Amino acid sequence: MNLRTLTIPLLLSAGLMAASVISVAKEKFYIPVVSKGFMLEFWQTVKAGSDTAARELNVKTSFVGPSDETQIAQQVQLVENILTQKPDGLLLAALDSNALLPSVERAHAQKVPVVTFDSSVNSDIPVSFVATDNKAAGAMAADAVEGLLGSKGKVAVVAHNAGTMTAADRVDGFTKQMKRKYPAINVLSPLYSEGDPQRAMNQTMDIIRANPDLSAVYATNEASTLGVASAVDSLGLAGKIKVVGFDSSDALVSFLKKGVIQGLVVQDAFQIGYVAMKTLYNALTGHDVKKVIDVLAVLVTGDNINKEEIQKIIRPSG
């Protein structure tokens, strides 16, 4: 065998080794995502955003969540299971800001940086929190309700999970804005549907029966809004009782176009997932990241729903 024939396999071997090294480098980081759920369109859009960012960054990822948004213990177990896999980082939307804290502390002890999105935990441990400013979004919903009612009326609040930061902030932002700017509007004490559309529907029907003078209902997430709209529609009260809710789905858009819903405060779910993944990657690669990143929400109405900039938010994949 001459030198030339010996060199070829050596070069081929070196090339394969280089390709292998590049491949390993591309998959250097494993960043799993633990969501609050996976059934709602909101979470599917968040997943699309985080998956897109992971592909761009050559990051390995996964996306899991409990069977529904009441299963706090199940979410804790999902996080614990993932930590045994020794991920490089963790993206987490906490179902309960206190119940998930021990898991975040365990991740910190294992030197696994955490970025929270949508809902955080009661701790400074997460390196960043990527979400809509939910108090500001709640205030936006209050302004929308007042714009529909004028300066007086009675408004019910159907929220999702009492233990989540999102529900707490959206209710707080709404009620404080009403009290500060529109004190003549009577806001009833919030009810919590646990993110269950059927429960939200039943609660709304009970509220309407108990309050024949009800003017509007404010709902704080996709599932709650769907339940509220279904109740108003089934009772034949579309347009008579105004509905302002949160998030977007095909069903909610349909209710908006029918006039059952008058306004939707819509988060850019794709960007929440996308920015969260990129933020954690930046932290892992030694870049400074902001402690809080606000992904702005918009108010979607029958007047603006067909605008291109709105369509990009409610249907990011086209």
Least confident range from 161-165, 206-210, 276-280, 295-299: namely 161-165
Q: What is the pLDDT of residues 4-17, one digit of tens each?
A: 333 333 333 334 33
Superfamily of domain 134-267: Response regulator (3.40.50.2300)
Over range 202-211, report the average pLDDT.
Answer: 98
Please state the domain extents for the chain: 28-132+269-295, 134-267
State what percent of residues in the chain have pLDDT above 70: 91
d(CA 309, CA 83): 39
Kindly tell me if the per-residue pLDDT of 25 is higher than 80: no
Asked if 114 contacts 133 with a C-beta cutoff of 8 angstroms, the reply is no
| pLDDT at 281 exceeding the cut of 60 | yes
Q: What pLDDT, on the 0 to 100 scale, is given for residue 113?
A: 98
Query: How many Å apart are CA 107 and CA 100, to the nearest integer?
Result: 11
More confident site: 275 or 70: 275
Mean of pLDDT over the chain:
91
pLDDT at 28: 83
Tell me the three state secondary structure of residue 217: strand
Q: How far is CA 72 from each of CA 31, 97, 158, 272, rounded to the nearest angstrom?
A: 21, 10, 20, 22
Confidence at residue 151, expressed as pLDDT on a 0 to 100 scale: 83
pLDDT digits (tens, 9 = 90+) for 142-199: 999 999 998 899 999 999 999 899 999 999 999 999 999 999 999 999 999 998 999 9
Chain mean position to CA 23: 32
Return the CATH class of domain 28-132+269-295.
alpha beta
Of 285, 201, 39, whose CA–CA distance to 47 is shortest?
A: 39
Q: What is the CA radius of gyration of the chain?
A: 23
- List, in order, residues 6 or more apart from 187 with CB less than 8 Å away: 155, 157, 174, 175, 178, 179
Q: Which of 39-43, 58-62, 196-200 has the lowest mean pLDDT?
A: 39-43
- 3-state SS, residue 16: helix
Q: Tell me what pLDDT residue 1 has.
A: 40
- Among 39-48, 125-134, 166-175, 234-243, the range scoring the smallest mean pLDDT is 39-48
Average pLDDT on 241-266 reads: 97
Q: Is the confidence at residue 39, as pLDDT, over 60? A: yes
Q: Do domains 28-132+269-295 and 134-267 have the same CATH topology?
A: yes
Q: At what angle do helices 250-258 and 222-234 cross, to 10 degrees?
A: 40
Q: How many CA atoms lie within 13 A of 139 on its CB side?
A: 11
